[in-house]
Structure 1
Amino acid sequence: MKLNYRIVIFALSIVFGLFFSAPSLLQLQDGKKVTLGLDLQGGLHMLLGVKTEEATKSRIKSIAASVKHFSDRKDILVDALKFDESSISFSLLDADDTKAMKEFLSEIDGVNLSVNAENFSLSLTPAEIIKTEKLAIDQAIETIRNRLDQFGLAEPVVARQGEEKILVQLAGIKTQEEEQRARELISRAAKLELMAVDEDRDARVNSMSDSDASAYGDVILEDVKDSRRKYLVREIPILDGGMLTDASMGFDQNNRPLINFKLNAEGAEIFGDFTGKSVGKRLAVVLDGKVYSAPNINERIGGGAGQISGNYTVMEAKDLAIALRSGALLAPIYLMEKRSVGPSLGADSIKASMIALIGGFILVIIFMVVYYRMAGVIANIALIANLFIILAVMSLFGATLTLPGMAGIVLTVGMAVDANVIISERIRELIYEGKSMHKAIEDGYSNAMRAILDANITTLIAAVVLYAYGTGAIKGFAVTISIGILASMLTAILGTHGIYEMLESRIQKSKNNRFWFGIKG
């Protein structure tokens, strides 16, 4: 027996497979492991809808806030600034300010501007409405994914389903409490607004209706702790969460949880300007339409930092900080469909998959040994190495193993041994033709290579397409098939060839083709 580079590479690949698959197989504390998917360990499956029309309203409101801030900064007197679901209207008290206002509004993309003397009217263009609604869905997908990543769930699936639906799959959600917490984190709008309290009319808030408040450009909001406590605040916010750069949980002087937040440069400037002009008045900190606090402004507040206090638990404060950091949803989402997969069902799936894998594996091993004798044993060694390599690569990259992925591994068992069947048959044909053992082995691999590469490359291309355009479960199947194909080409072509080269002199001396290849002569 003599060593060769092929057998060295094959041996190293086996060591690699054993080392990196051990944490998953033995469930060790250290080392990277394969994550089980929703269908194998249980969890939560949800289909969410997005109220895209609300994104258009938010866009209109944001433009109105920009108009107000610009007019305040430039000392432009604006009268009757109003907005509804689709348009904004206002008038200027000084005609000399018309040019400056028109220049400012012309820089806002996607609006139709109508000016009649000092009267201005804005509305979103149809193209901008479509763009805003599409952005709301894309942003919802990204925001939900960011929140779940920070929540600590392994490999959450967040993907678009159709035009306006979002598929969310959370593996490992096992209790009702975990499910409720995840659902609240996903659905929370996390819309932060700093709004001025209407000090002139707030004392009459309990006797006012929503229409009365609207007539003054105000809105009535409830206190988060006491729904009977009402605040009358200006409908157009001073600034919103779009200017938020960071949020984190902290504690007040009484060791109660609160949220600290920071604003970007623009937000800090607006915040500083407003507080400087509003000393002695109140500023309402509003989150998702409820007032969390309304402190008095004692002096100009610079630096762009603030706090949100409330009756939180530590866990609630952490989740709220996550929601604020990951960004507010441009449009509310709602639950369309929910399915909970219990861990017992996942255990049944694992059991059935393992029976299929082990059963198929044993049958393939028996067939190869009976039909090809020692060549079958060599092929089986490559097959076992192939399984370890697949598991090692998936563990190394922290891949998620789903039920279709298990099916992919089962299918890989057959595909991996297929290459060795082709090679063995080519070698047997050449032995029948009277070729020397060295010539039969070398030409056998050479002749089999084209068929093996054609089959594997076409399957690999199909797997890549499945991964690129498939959803979570199909991606799992594509990943395991792809890894299995690449591993089989290493073990079946390089590995077994190295074993034959190492044993070539012994095969020639024995002249027992029946023992080595299962043929007479």
Structure 2
Amino acid sequence: MQLQRWKFAVIAVITAIFLSFVFAFPQTLGIDLAGGTELRYDLDLSGIPPERRSPALTKSTADILSRRLDSLGLAEMTIRPVGDYSIMIQLPGVSSTRAEQIKDAIRTSGNLWFKIVYRSESDDWVRLHRTDPEILELIQDVLERKDRGEYYPDEEPYDVATYEIREKTTGRVIESFPILLENDDAVPGKYLEGADPDRDQFGAPAVAFYMKPEGAAKLAETTERNVGRAMAIVLDGVVVSAPKIRSTISDRGQITGSFTKQEVDTLVTVLRSGALPAKPVLASEDTIAPTLGEDSIRRGMFAVVTAVILTFLFMFVFYRGAGMVANVALVLNLIILFGTMKLLGATLTLPGIAGIVLVMGMAVDANILINERIREEFDRGVPIGEAVAAGFRHAFSAILDSNVTTVLTAIILYTVGTGPIRGFAITLMIGIVSSLFTALWVTRAFFELMLARGWYTRPNYLRVLANPNIGFLKNRRPFVLTALILLNLGYIAFAMRGPEKY
């Protein structure tokens, strides 16, 4: 084997690059390490026709929620469908106040309509909708048919929405009651192009909205025909504003009311992201305190450091100089692993730390295979240089096969798992790829160096078993029986824990 000095230049450059990633980028921590909130939502399918109920509906809802929460500055969140009609949202490091704002943004479906208020020519229309017998009878009819599932908006002349009376200073709801709206001339929120926080003429928080060209034409036609009447801006069945139409409105307008700044921000977020295909209903909420996350980090790092020390000692004691080469490759493997995770913004979870320990074991396992094959070749009388080359060549297929199967398993875990399990899968995939590079390429460069300098003349490894040939096939019956017993014990233990533990 000839010494190729350029390999060490490549190793130095790669080490420097990934070390810069380690120190330049922050590490994103999962909810189990940073603390935070985990929300699970089930979709309310009561208003969804059977032909539209599918996992695609759940994915569409999750995508809109993801855009909605991204606009709130939650880049480190995890949101994904779980099962056919559930969504899991993980929010690392958020406070309880922030979590409430997020839940407000989630529970709002974003179903926006512009509708004319029935008999709103009078300035006293609010009182009419609370006292006029004709209006009350129409409201009651619509509500009853909605309860019976006999209300079809596209075929109905009227609709009902909740009108809220709020305190002007705090925005707190004092009273709410139903009002009657006209479905004729209604303009749906699908024509909305955008929304921004704004201020009304008195400096109070408001929302400015912008219409698409087709929506602007429809809104202009509706407002021109209904000047002097009130137009209700209805979001998820609640009237957020009902101003009098003073003139024609087309491509832009303003939603005013007794809003707080947080309510305006939430409303803008909802309008920008669009309406949800199905309403999410909070099914469970778990909160992890930051102190628990800090304790998990301490325990996890203790496990990693302990694993590193024990691995270093094992490789040095058993394989001497070749073991130190494996240790150097292991350090580089960890640098590449952490550098890649930080560069990609991958989330580190508690199972991810377990994945790091597993990667360390698999990395040195590859070096053990190589060293043992080198010893076998040398024991057969092959010169040391040829033994090293043969050791790498013969160990390659076993190392590649075992790592490829593990990567495939990690891909499956990432595809079907939730946040922490996906963190384990990501760590495992990155670590395996980097360990292949360090075990098969970096260690070979160091073996070339030791051979060229005369530092490695024979594999002076520690021998525990002089003749490690074990007749597994010859004694297959007891081995198979033992395996079956262990498998059945595992099944029994799994069943005894109960489904609630998984």
TM-score (norm. length: structure 2): 0.81
SS of the residue aligned with 2:46? helix
2:101 to 178, 181, 185: 181
Secondary structure of the structure 1 residue equivalent to 2:175: coil
Q: Output one character per residue of 1:445-504: Cα deviation in whole Å (capped at 9) or x when no partner.
A: 111111111111111122122222322222211111111111001111100101111221
Name the amino acid aligned to 1:19: S
Q: Is the 1:6–1:497 contact (alpha carbons within 8 Å) kept by the matching residues of 2?
A: no
Q: Aligned partners of 2:52 and 2:180: how far apart in 1?
A: 33
Secondary structure of the structure 2 residue equivalent to 1:284: strand
C-alpha contact 2:164 2:175 (8 A) present in aligned 1? yes
Aligned twin of 2:220:
272
Which stretch of structure 1 is more off in the superposition, 407-416 or 203-212? 203-212
SS in 2 for 1:253: coil
Please, which of 204, 212, 215 is the counterpart of residue 138 of structure 2? 212
Structure 1 residue 259, shift from structure 2 partner: 0.9
After superposition, the Cα gap between the structure-2 partners of 1:330 and 1:224, relative to the gap in structure 1 and judged at 3 Å, is farther
- Aligned with 1:283 (options 231, 235, 245): 231
Residue aligning to 2:78: 157
Post-superposition CA distance 1:314-364 (Å, at most 9, x none): 333222211110112233322111110111111122122112211111111
Query: 1:298 and 1:255, CA in 2 relative to 1: closer, same or farther beyond 3 A?
Result: closer
Q: 1:181-227 CA deviation, whole Å, 9 max, x = no partner? A: 12112112232211101126945211147543355835353135253
1:34 corresponding residue in structure 2: 27
The number of equivalent residue pairs is: 435
Could you say what the CA RMSD is over the residues aligned between the two structures, in angstroms? 2.5
1:50 equivalent in alignment to 2:34? no
Residue 366, structure 1, aligned to residue 290, structure 2: no
Instruction: Quote how far apart the aligned CAs of 1:264 are.
Output: 1.8
> Aligned letter for 2:194?
D
Shift of 1:136: 4.8
**Structure-1 residue corresponding to 2:382:** 435
- TM-score (normalizing by structure 1): 0.78
Within the alignment, does 1:389 sit opposite 2:336 as a pair? Answer: yes
| C-alpha deviation, 1:3, in angstroms | 4.4
SS of the equivalent of 2:258 reads coil
**Distance change in 2, residues 1:298/1:336 (3 Å):** same
CA contact (8 A) 2:33 2:349 kept: yes
SS at 1:227 equivalent: strand
Conserved 8 A contact 1:222-1:228: yes
> After superposition, where does 1:127-166 map in structure 2 within 5 Å?
129-131=50-52, 136-166=57-87
Show structure 1 runs of 5+ residues with no match. 23-30, 57-127
Structure 1 counterpart of 2:162: 221
Q: CA 1:441–1:252 in structure 2 vs 1: closer, same or farther (change >3 Å)?
A: same
1:116 maps to: none
Residue in 2 that maps onto 1:464: 411
AA aligned opposite 1:34: Q
2:41, 2:283 within 8 Å by CA — same for their partners in 1? Answer: yes
- Specify whether residues 360 and 265 from structure 1 end up closer, same or farther in structure 2 by C-alpha distance, changes over 3 A only: same
2:232 maps to amino acid: A
Query: Could you report, residue by residue, the CA deviation over 1:39-85 in whole angstroms, capped at 9, with x for unpaired residues?
Result: 1111111111221123x4xxxxxxxxxxxxxxxxxxxxxxxxxxxxx
- Aligned to 2:454, the other structure's residue is in SS state helix
Q: Out of 257, 260, 270, which is 1:310 matched to?
A: 257
Distance 1:17 1:52 in 2: 48
- The structural deviation recorded for 1:374 is 0.7
Deviation at 1:412, TM superposition (A): 0.3
Q: Deviations over 1:352-389 (max 9, x none)?
A: 21122111111110010011011111100000110110
Comparing 349-358 and 310-319, the one that deviates more:
310-319
Moved more, 410-419 or 344-353: 344-353
CA deviation map 1:285-325 (0-9, x unaligned): 222333233222233222x2111112233333222211110
* 1:16 alignment partner in structure 2: 17
Secondary structure at 1:276's aligned position in 2?
helix
Give the direction of change, closer, same or farther, for the CA distance of 1:394–1:222 in structure 2 (3 Å limit): same
- Deviation of 1:408 after TM superposition, in Å, equals 0.7
Q: How many angstroms does 1:132 deviate by?
A: 5.6
Secondary structure, in 3 states, of the residue corresponding to 2:254? strand
- Residues 414-449 of structure 1: CA deviation (Å, up to 9, x unaligned): 001111111111112222223222212111111111
**Shift in CA distance, 374/345, structure 1 to aligned 2, threshold 3 Å:** same
State the one-letter code of the partner of 2:15.
I
Q: Encode CA deviations 1:104-143: one digit per residue, 9 max, x unaligned.
A: xxxxxxxxxxxxxxxxxxxxxxxx5321676653332122
The code of the aligned residue for 1:217 comes to Y
1:229: Cα distance to partner? 7.6
Residues 460 and 330 of structure 1, relative CA distance in 2, 3 Å threshold: closer
Cα shift readout 1:11-59 (whole Å, capped 9, x = no counterpart): 222222211112xxxxxxxx322210011111111111221123x4xxx
Aligned pairs (5 A) from 1:74-473: 129-131=50-52, 136-173=57-94, 175-199=95-119, 202=125, 204-207=128-131, 208=133, 210-213=136-139, 217-219=158-160, 221-225=162-166, 227=175, 231-235=179-183, 238-302=186-250, 304-473=251-420
Deviation of residue 279 (structure 1)?
2.0
Instruction: Report the identity percentage.
Output: 35
The answer for the alignment partner of 1:79 in structure 2 is none
What's the secondary structure of 1:356's corresponding residue?
helix
Unaligned 5+ segments in structure 2 are 142-156, 167-173, 464-502
- Check the 8 A contact 2:384/2:458 in 1, yes or no: no
Secondary structure, in 3 states, of the residue corresponding to 1:261?
Answer: strand
Q: 1:399: how far off? A: 0.6
Taking structure 1 as reference, are residues 135 and 429 closer, same or farther at Cα in structure 2, changes over 3 Å only? closer
Distance 1:240 1:224, change over 3 A: farther
The residue type equivalent to 1:490 in the other structure is: F
